[in-house]
Amino acid sequence: MTVAPAVPGFDRLALQARLEAAWRRSDAVFDLLAPEAFLRRPIALRQPFIFYAGHLAAFGWNQVLGGLLGRESPQPALDRLFARGIDPVGVDGYEGAEAWPSLDQTLRYRDRVRGALLGAMDEVESRAGSDVLAEHGRVYHLVIEHELMHHETLLYMVQQLDRRLRRRPRTVPPYRFQGAAAPGTVAVPGATVVLGERFDRVPFGWDNEFPEHAEEVAPFALDRTPVRNGEWLEFMAAGGYTRAELWVEESWAWRERVGHTHPVFWTRAARGPEAGVGGWTYQALADELPLEDVADWPVYVSWAEADAYARWRGASLPTEAEYHAAARAADVRWGDPAGGNFDFTHWGPTPVGMYGGTAARDLAGNGWEWTRSRFGPFPGFEAWARTYAGYSADFFDEHHYVLLGGSWATDRTLVRRSFRNWFQPHYPYVFAKFRLVRR
């Protein structure tokens, strides 16, 4: 792949500043945990917190020092132990202390790798003219964005953790309960929309963001705002979780198997001052809130739940291309925190529609947006990062759906038009909202 001269070159100071900023946020997120929480596993499909404390460092070593520069590791066993997302080698399913290094050992490993990453910048820059990973510091961008994405993973894990094992963030802005936009629909005209990005036009992007291509979209009507917690109560009152005809067969089987009967961030609290409508409370990062107070916040649910709701309303979820048509019509301000609830501005959801123009609102921020498009490669896809060839390709399996836009816990650099997220349909923990399309 070639790179156009218009793209900035290897900016060591900028890369170092971004890397250190990502580390500071990582430290702040881990600081939300009591020491005894590091061995807890609040979500069975994720590893204990101790794994992630090591994983972020191991990823940096395996990409830059081991992958690009080919250096021999002083701690290869830890590089392997902490290497792989939700199924690390040899420890999957283990939660006891005997399966993991101590927290002190893990943090020493982390600090050693951080120093090595900073010390390797000269050597990486020296290869910028001959290696696609080194050009423009792409391998460092890869490490930084991986760390930023895990902040979100860690935060929805924290929200599932026993409140006695988590600490309140040092600064939490006041919750916003007022200011939601009125519901309604907007007409989105038919258009040719551009998905993806050109590799020679940006300093970095994940492999699934490339290449740029165009798709035709027919006119459609779209909800002006995402579905709210208050609207979800109506679905539940109508028996939404008990009506098999609203669910695709696989999703109904999942719901029956796990006994899923409400959004994962909702809790029954029959008594107490925090109990809201019907005894429901909402679990925010730092507090439990009466559901009636957050009735205008977006409801966070799995794809399976969102799809069932859409069937109940006689509508559907948008496709990936339709989302982009709506975002273009709404003139979304990608990466500008003044244009959406992302980049930790509020440390939680806000009433729907507080951000955006006269068209569809909240398309960027306040929760990822589910689509009905299965995650797959764009035409001409290439896994350009040889050190991470499976980043996207491992999930081109027809079992994951595309999410777009970002949440309150998404760093502004990830809130870009071409960035694609993806999850399985039965994973309910993501800060993910949705809205409906009528054709």
What are the tens digits of pLDDT across the range 20-68? 999 999 999 999 999 999 999 999 999 999 999 999 999 999 999 999 9
Percent of the chain residues topping a pLDDT of 90: 89
Predicted confidence at residue 91, as pLDDT, reads: 43
Q: Does 315 score more than 60 pLDDT?
A: yes
Q: Does 275 score more than 60 pLDDT?
A: no
Average pLDDT of 353-375? 95
Predicted confidence at residue 9, as pLDDT, reads: 79
Render pLDDT for 104-125 as a digit per residue (tens, 0 to 9): 999 999 999 999 999 999 999 9
Predicted confidence at residue 8, as pLDDT, reads: 56
Render pLDDT for 131-149 as a digit per residue (tens, 0 to 9): 999 999 999 999 999 999 9
Predicted confidence at residue 345, as pLDDT, reads: 94
* Measured distance CA(303)–CA(423) in Å, rounded: 8
Residue 277 banded pLDDT, cuts 50, 70, 90:
low
* Measured distance CA(105)–CA(81) in Å, rounded: 13
* Measured distance CA(238)–CA(360) in Å, rounded: 27
Render pLDDT for 157-176 as a digit per residue (tens, 0 to 9): 999 999 999 999 888 899 99
Residue 270 banded pLDDT, cuts 50, 70, 90:
low
* Measured distance CA(309)–CA(225) in Å, rounded: 15
Predicted confidence at residue 268, as pLDDT, reads: 86
Render pLDDT for 179-238 as a digit per residue (tens, 0 to 9): 999 999 999 999 999 999 999 999 999 999 999 999 999 999 999 999 999 999 999 999
Burial class (CB in 10 A: 0-12, 13-18, 19+), 211: middle
Class of domain 12-165: mainly alpha
Average pLDDT of 327-338? 94
Residue 298 banded pLDDT, cuts 50, 70, 90:
very high
Predicted confidence at residue 1, as pLDDT, reads: 46
Predicted confidence at residue 358, as pLDDT, reads: 77
Tell me the domain boundaries of the chain: 12-165, 185-227+298-438
Average pLDDT of 390-406? 97
Instruction: Tell me the average pLDDT of the chain.
Output: 93
Predicted confidence at residue 85, as pLDDT, reads: 54
Same fold, 12-165 and 185-227+298-438: no
Q: Which pair of structure tokens corresponds to residue 320?
A: 């990936």
What is the fold of 185-227+298-438? paralog of FGE (formylglycine-generating enzyme) (3.90.1580)
Q: C-alpha 322: how far from its chain's center?
A: 20
Q: Does 4 score more than 70 pLDDT?
A: no
- The answer to whether 145 touches 12, Cβ cutoff 8 Å, is no
Predicted confidence at residue 172, as pLDDT, reads: 84
- The answer to whether 80 touches 24, Cβ cutoff 8 Å, is no
Q: What angle do CA 278, 292, 408 make, to 5 degrees?
A: 125
C-alpha distances (whole Å) from 261 to each of 45, 97, 226, 239, 292 are 19, 33, 21, 10, 19
Predicted confidence at residue 357, as pLDDT, reads: 75
Q: Does 90 score more than 70 pLDDT?
A: no
- The answer to whether 228 touches 266, Cβ cutoff 8 Å, is no
Predicted confidence at residue 6, as pLDDT, reads: 46
